[in-house]
Structure 1
């Protein structure tokens, strides 16, 4: 089946609403930090220098820009900033794969759209179902699940699913330079958060393993959760068919205020959906860092920006130029994009985090 489906061109906000209005809810290797070169996968240049200089400024106690550790908050978008988001958001790939996995239990799907089109690999017919078809897919794949059951299905999916271009697990398509950046910031007293438009129930089951970021430091879009006691007398949390919060665009600084309670001094994004988070971060007093990952490497990853239907970078790119933000050119600034799969050359982020915590 062609994975370049027209239905996937819906806006991210539409996708989030579809995902969250329903009962929803890789091991990313990172090298040990070096004292002399804490960001080994970054080429020397303006972007790397800006990061290292900023960290030095805010962590030098005698300096004018010193920031106490409690205030060293760093926020990162996820899709397109910490891992690949092409050819479409990975959470949608999960939903589509769920339809295929569940199909034997629903023989009627063979004749019902949009399921028939998806199962037969008919891209045009699937695209023709539009937002209505997407909503039906979300409803069918997520209805009636507890948050625990949904988390288990997410973990199972990551264990077997493969990206259509790279033939690697989705959670191995994280960016090696950004893994190093997360570890570098934590080693310098920063608290790192993911602030993403993705569903929070989809992200929390794997982020600590991959990024070293625990569930309580993951802010995402969410649906209403209902407490109830099951037939076995045990309490469970069920997702209702109501949207609670969309953590995208202007919702990001709102989510930061609501769930973190401190304005970041350091933020990274990659698209117009991150613009307001970057503006909110840059507008605070004292030293501030706003960064953008610019996808310019069509050979090692993808190249896209202003015209892209996924991860559009237009207004935020202009704002970066006007505000003097740091724009990371993936092709020029990164020595490598994805982590090596060789266990001899890598360790897990979780292992690195544990080592840092013991220091």
Structure 2
């Protein structure tokens, strides 16, 4: 894993993978049971100052507003259109999902996916001046590839909309759409000239955050993961579910400590708060990945620049 520094964090990951994949090891785990789950926001790409999905949704409110004159009188649309984002920011993942569901109700699943693809083709982060698709953490991309090379099946388990994440999961992380677990909206099935469609409704079906992550992992995968990676208190149930199983288990939390290359935040953060997790990691022996000390590079472009000396 070229973008990792040679620190105890990298060595502990490699040591665990070696133990569970070596047939002669007492900790050997069959390939079918090698499941690794990863949170998305703050674990695989940036989540500050707002999640990528929230940025998309807020921009869509402004784009779609001419078709919805009633939004000028309805909250939270009224506040968003006036530039007041506090109501949405304070509502967290639940508010973001409700807003996403409401703004894109009536669209077919295909139309929504096409809209998200088009947005990613042009949208960029203002601080880093890069497309959002270029803001995957390179060390985590390498970790995902390393695990798959050692017989692991890797899943993204996110509070974001499953359809939103599936549009970029394969190209950014090598994770196919069927291996993404996320929040969902309700659909309406219909036939138009003999063609079946699923139309999005303005209702959130599942908010995949906190304890729900453990439940959806069980419902979708049907196996307790062997490894779990998160970065915030909302990921704790997923890590607890993983490490409560028998045999060797591995859990890690990314600690955002690099204000220069990315962001530094933990206990007082509005989004991605890591407070209880810092205590739990020490008590339960989970790995804390210090992004400033453990990562040689942050994003893929950084790795390319370092390789060329530019």
With the length of structure 1 as denominator, give the TM-score of the two structures.
Answer: 0.78
Change (3 A) 1:298 1:256: same
Post-superposition shift, 1:162? 1.2
SS of equivalent residue, structure 1 residue 295: strand
Provide, for residues 117-138 of structure 1, a one-character-per-residue CA deviation record: whole Å limited to 9, x for no partner.
5445x33xx436876x978854
2:213 is aligned to 252
Structure 1 position 180 matched with structure 2 position 106: no
Question: For the Cα contact (< 8 Å) 1:75–1:267, is it kept in 2?
Answer: yes
Q: Which residue of 1 aligns with 2:62?
A: 100
Distance 1:201 1:140 in 2: 15
SS in 2 for 1:222: strand
| Structure 2 partner of 1:213 | 175
Question: What does residue 320 of structure 1 align with?
Answer: 281
- Structure 1 residues 48 and 342, CA, compared in 2 at 3 Å: closer, same or farther? closer
104, 127, 130: which one aligns with 2:86: 127
C-alpha contact 2:50 2:271 (8 A) present in aligned 1: yes
- Where do 1:272-291 residues align within 5 Å? 272-291=233-252
Residue of structure 2 equivalent to 1:235? 196
Contact 1:99–1:140 (CA under 8 A) maintained in structure 2:
no
Cα distance change, pair 246–234 in 1 and its aligned pair in 2 (3 A): same
Judged with a 3 Å threshold, the aligned counterparts in structure 2 of structure 1 residues 289 and 227 are, in CA distance, closer, same or farther, namely same
Three-state SS of the structure 1 residue aligned to 2:10 is: helix
Could you report, residue by residue, the CA deviation over 1:39-58 in whole angstroms, capped at 9, with x for unpaired residues? 11101111001000001100
Aligned to 1:301: 262
- Alignment check: 8 A CA contact 1:114 1:136 kept: no
1-side partners of 2:151 and 2:237: how far apart?
25
1:151-206 deviations in Å (ceiling 9; x for gaps): 11111110111112112111211100000000000000000001111111111111
C-alpha change, 1:136 and 1:261, in structure 2 (3 Å) is: closer
In the TM superposition, 1:26-45 aligns within 5 A as: 39-45=1-7
Deviation at 1:299, TM superposition (A): 0.5
1:288 and 1:53 map into 2 onto residues whose CA distance is 12
Quote how far apart the aligned CAs of 1:234 are. Answer: 1.4
Structure with the bigger RCO (C-alpha within 8 Å, sep 6+) is: 1
What is the match of residue 164 of structure 1?
Answer: 126
RMSD: 2.5
CA distance in 2, matches of 1:81, 1:93: 17
Instruction: Give distance in 2, aligned partners of 1:220 and 1:303.
Output: 26
Relative to its length, the structure with more strand (as a share) is 2
Correspondence 1:71 to 2:33: yes
Is the Cα–Cα contact under 8 Å of residues 104 and 202 in structure 2 kept in the other structure?
A: no
> By how many angstroms is 1:141 displaced?
2.4
Moved over 3 A (4+): 103-120, 128-131, 133-140, 341-346
C-alpha deviation, 1:112, in angstroms: 7.0
Structure 2, gaps ≥5 residues long: none
| Offset, 1:66 | 0.4
Partner deviation per Cα, 1:60-91 (whole Å, 9 max, x = no partner): 10110000111100000001000000101111
1:88 aligns to what? 50
Q: Aligned residue pairs: how many?
A: 304
* Larger mean Cα displacement after TM superposition, 335-344 or 237-246: 335-344
**What's the offset of the Cα at 1:99?**
2.0
- Whether the aligned pair in 2 keeps the contact of 1:295 and 1:302 (CA below 8 Å) is yes
**Structure 2 vs 1, CA of residues 62 and 253 (structure 1 numbering), >3 Å: closer, same or farther?**
same
**Structure 2: distance between partners of 1:128 and 1:220:** 23
Mapped to 1, the partners of 2:297 and 2:137 lie a distance apart of 8
Q: Is the Cα–Cα contact under 8 Å of residues 252 and 289 in structure 2 kept in the other structure? A: yes
